A = this chain, B = another copy of it.
Amino acid sequence: MMTSLSGFPEYTPEEKILEDALLEKLTRVFELHGFSHLETRAVEPLSVLEKKGETSKEVYTLTRLQDKDSGSKAKNGLHFDLTVPLARYVLENAHLLHFPFLRYQIQKVWRGERPQEGRFREFVQADIDMIGQDTLPDHFEIEAPLIMAEALETLPIPRPVVHVNSRKVLEGACTALGITEVDAVLQVIDKHDKVTPEVFSEMLSELGLSAEQVGKIWDLSGISGTDPSVVDEVRALQLDNPLLEEGLEDVARMLRAAALRGRDNVMADFKIARGLDYYTGMVYETFITGAESYGSICSGGRYDNLVSQGKRTFPGVGMSIGLTRLISIILANNWATASRSVPTTVLVLVDSEETRPAADAVAQTLRARGINTEVSPTASKYGKQIKYASTRGIPYVWFVEQGEVKNLLTGDQVPADPAVFEFAPELLKPQVESQDG
């Protein structure tokens, strides 16, 4: 990954093969579950971008270079996530869409943050969202993390685990404890894993919580597990509240559904809060086993009030993968590499410029069979042409005059007819070789 402009990463051709392979795996799982591919424009009116969320101040605004002097009057900016554009798209095009609307969206987003380790100003997000009209059945809140757990498991990373909670549990607990500063408490709970118990308690005390309230919040935040009985550990805290009970039921139902489908990488975790976001039901974060310190690689939740216009509401649930960051983690840990830097399977060698058409004809026959083929750019000595192949990782070279093909990986060279020769299936495309995950 190169960043000659700070915060704006670019890939080498090998790294791009890795990214494309990951995109294909994610896309495959999303489409298996019936999600439509959506792409929205990169540019939104500032009125749309400034409406929601904490990130509005990190917007890049656009000005035509010719209108330099009117820079402060910019009306449009680049989107900073894919949820705000989705909300705008759904409201604008509700009459063209069928609900529930299931869509995946994989696009670059931009944030004008100060760049730092692992933070980018231009990066790719891969989102799924399910949007209902007026209502959205609860089982979609169960589907979202199950689908993402399945999608993330296809990637070359150590075991991803989706941690699930419900805002209802946290809000119900606050109500039961007589805490009114719910948002502020959620933001502290968000920091549970990042600070010591002492700092955690201190932050809550500063919000005016009593020692008993702090203790209960601490205990609640510490509860997690994959067995549905984990909700009984919360009940044992005796925080009687109907909203909390509703949230616990949601979490337990989620764990039962995961068990039914044999999915063991989804767990309840009552410290997941998504403090600053617009969620109203279940919330999700995802961690890589053994690499939890990188933070969540895929987060989301249910939102009832993000998309609404007058009496029309479009409740939704969604999750978002920070794909560029995830790939930077994969590269930094060397969890996967591409087997070559080009799609090419065969390099057809050229005996002389005069006989280049013969090499072109072999290439044409191979390509008609779907074999990725290059013709050597120059009729230099075979050794030099073969080096062209080997430096790129092209596995086969074709000798036209001799009518032979050589596998550069095994050294085998055999007589061959371009119309029928069988290439090793695993060498037809660059492979992503997983080192670990």
Contact = CB atoms under 8 A, between A and B. Distances in A.
User: Which of A46, A74, A140 neighbours the largest number of chain B CB atoms within 10 Å of its CB?
Assistant: A74
A198 B244 CA distance: 83
Contacts of A309: none
A97 interface: yes
Interface stretch (A28-36, A159-167, A206-214, A267-275): A28-36
Contacts of A77: 65
A321 interface: no
Interface stretch (A8-16, A175-183, A229-237, A299-307): A8-16
Interface string A360-401: 110010010011111001100000000010011000000000
A39 interface: yes
Contacts of A192: none
Contact of A257 (B33, B35, B357): B357
A436 interface: no
Contact of A2 (B92, B139, B344): B92
A72 interface: yes
Interface residues of A, number: 90
B89 A10 contact: yes
B42 A372 contact: no
Given A12-B96, A32-B372, A357-B257, A71 B62 contact: no
Contact of A32 (B33, B39, B373): B373
Interface in A400-433: none
B63 A4 contact: no
Interface of A: 2, 4-5, 8-13, 16-17, 19-20, 31-46, 56-66, 68-72, 74, 76-78, 89, 92-93, 96-98, 100, 102-103, 108, 110, 112, 121-122, 132, 137, 139-140, 257, 260-261, 341-344, 356-357, 360-361, 364, 367, 370-374, 377-378, 388, 391-392
Given A16-B37, A43-B122, 7 more contacts: A16-B36, A61-B63, A62-B78, A69-B72, A98-B341, A137-B378, A139-B377
